[in-house]
Amino acid sequence: MARLHFEDSAYQNRDTETVLDTLLRHQVSVPYSCRNGVCLTCMLRCSEGPVPAAAQKDIRETLRIQGCFLSCLCHPIADMTIGLPDDSLVFGRATVTAVDKLADTICRVRLLPAMPLYYHAGQFVNLHRSDGLVRSYSLASLPRADSDLELHVKRLPGGAMSNWIFESLVPGAALDIDGPHGGCYYLAEESDRPLLLIGNGTGLAPLFGIARDALASDHLEPIHLYHGTRYSDGLYLDRELRAMATAHDNFTYVPCLSGDEVPAGCRRSRAERAAFADHSALADWRVYLCGSPAMVNKTKKLAFLAGAALADICSDPFEMTDKRAVPRD
């Protein structure tokens, strides 16, 4: 059994526990959010001892070589000396330039990072509130076209970060961000493959960025974007996406509504059902799935069964398994 040396204390790791489990069992205050290796909030740094490869696989190279790892995925194989990563390794400062309401419960936040952020549309950043609350948001902006980062935030009943963004975040405010993270983005070298993009709710944010990236890269094959929500108010980029479809022959936008009222021009269906009804053979396609974990996980299997290779299915489930975030001191 490994021992974990954290600050001035040592903690015994139990066989089935991750590093994060052990620290939380001992009431050690460390940041975390999804506990599933997706949001990267729980990143720690190891200064002594081996780091299992599985705990570093989604971390960018510069952080990996400095010993950063995801504590929620790390099952220690020997004693480790660990700590919070240096803020300068992880955080950047950004200024809010706009907060605009796109629908009743959806707003667009624009941020200008103090240092240039090298990212792909569709990746995500973590926003840090000054009390330590951290949440992930996907990048809808396109680096070569937009000077600001663009995020789409859904307001959730009782949601700590999303309500704060709606009620208190104003232009001029400064925030810490870390990122970019994630592998859900357009690959320009694959311009000769059809793309299927399926998202629900604000799962549209990364897909909007990916679709714009593909079109700006002169993608040769068809790009089909299915956006699902319950009410028409949730089709919050309807106008922009219809205009994109008019401007580009190879881009199709299919707005899908699962509620009772379905205006002309929208499909009465969930996005994934409509997508598979239209496209049932996906060999050689690249598939992007973003939004609620239930939809993403279910649709991943359907895409695989329809012939897409697992390596060709990029997904960003908006994991929210654990709602508690412990403030950093």
Ligand X SMILES: Cc1cc2nc3c(=O)[nH]c(=O)nc-3n(C[C@H](O)[C@H](O)[C@H](O)COP(=O)(O)OP(=O)(O)OC[C@H]3O[C@@H](n4cnc5c(N)ncnc54)[C@H](O)[C@@H]3O)c2cc1C
What are the residues whose beta carbons fall under 8 Å from the beta carbon of 34, sequence distance 6 or more?
A: 41, 72, 136, 319, 320, 321, 322
Single out the segment in contact with ligand X by CB under 6 A; choices: 9-17, 47-55, 82-90, 136-144: 136-144
* Contact yes or no for 46/69 (Cβ under 8 A): yes
**C-beta closer to ligand X: residue 23 or 34:** 34
**Strand 251-257's sheet: what is its strand order?**
267-268, 251-257, 223-229, 195-200, 286-291, 313-317
Burial (0-12, 13-18, 19+ Cβ within 10 Å), 147: exposed
Q: Are strands 149-154 and 106-113 parallel, antiparallel or unpaired?
A: antiparallel
Q: Applying CB under 6 A, does 318 fall inside the site for ligand X?
A: yes
Min dist. Cβ of residue 236 to ligand X (A): 11
**C-beta closer to ligand X: residue 49 or 102:** 102
306-318 in b/e form (b: 16+ CB < 10 A) is bebeeebbbbbbb
* Residue count of the chain: 329
Min dist. Cβ of residue 324 to ligand X (A): 8
* Contact yes or no for 80/51 (Cβ under 8 A): yes
Min dist. Cβ of residue 103 to ligand X (A): 12
**C-beta closer to ligand X: residue 11 or 318:** 318
**C-beta closer to ligand X: residue 67 or 113:** 113
Q: Applying CB under 6 A, does 205 fall inside the site for ligand X?
A: yes
CA 159/CA 324 separation, integer angstroms = 11
Q: Applying CB under 6 A, does 129 fall inside the site for ligand X?
A: no
Among 153, 175, 271, 313, binds ligand X (CB under 6 A): 153
CA 115/CA 90 separation, integer angstroms = 12
Q: What is the CA radius of gyration of the chain?
A: 20
* Contact yes or no for 168/160 (Cβ under 8 A): no
**C-beta closer to ligand X: residue 160 or 215:** 160
Q: Applying CB under 6 A, does 159 fall inside the site for ligand X?
A: yes
**C-beta closer to ligand X: residue 26 or 323:** 323
Single out the segment in contact with ligand X by CB under 6 A; choices: 12-20, 147-155, 187-195, 209-217: 147-155
Single out the segment in contact with ligand X by CB under 6 A; choices: 52-60, 64-72, 113-121, 145-153: 145-153
Single out the segment in contact with ligand X by CB under 6 A; choices: 107-115, 166-174, 219-227, 313-321: 313-321
**Residues contributing to the site for ligand X (CB under 6 A):** 34, 38-39, 124, 135-138, 151-154, 156, 158-162, 182, 202, 205, 292, 316, 318-320, 323
